[in-house]
Amino acid sequence: MKTPSRPLSPHLQIFRWHIAMFTSITYRAAGIGLVIGAFAATVLLACLAFAPETYEILTGFLDTILGKLALAGFTWALFFQLLQAVRHLFWDAAIGLELKTARLTGWLIVGGSFVLTALVWAYLLFIA
Predicted confidence band of residue 11 (pLDDT cuts 50, 70, 90) = low
Of 40 and 16, the one with more pLDDT: 40
Q: Are residues 76 and 58 in the same domain?
A: no
Predicted confidence band of residue 17 (pLDDT cuts 50, 70, 90) = confident
Q: Are residues 57 and 108 in the same domain?
A: no
Interval 6-28 mean pLDDT: 80
In a domain, 13, yes or no: no
DSSP 8-state assignment for residue 96: S
Percent of the chain with pLDDT over 70: 90
Q: How many domains does the chain have?
A: 2
- pLDDT score for 34: 98
- Checking if the pLDDT of 106 tops 70, the result is yes
Q: Rounded CA gap, 40 and 8, in Å?
A: 42
Q: What is the mean pLDDT of the chain?
A: 91
Q: Are residues 77 and 40 in the same domain?
A: no
Instruction: Give 108: exposed, middle or buried? Use CB within 10 Å, 0-12, 13-18, 19+.
Output: middle
In a domain, 126, yes or no: yes
Q: Are residues 57 and 87 in the same domain?
A: no
Q: Are residues 45 and 88 in the same domain?
A: no
- Checking if the pLDDT of 4 tops 90, the result is no
Q: Are residues 76 and 56 in the same domain?
A: no
Structural domain span for residue 48: 33-63
Query: What is the pTM (predicted TM-score) of this model?
Result: 0.84
- pLDDT score for 8: 64
Interval 22-47 mean pLDDT: 96
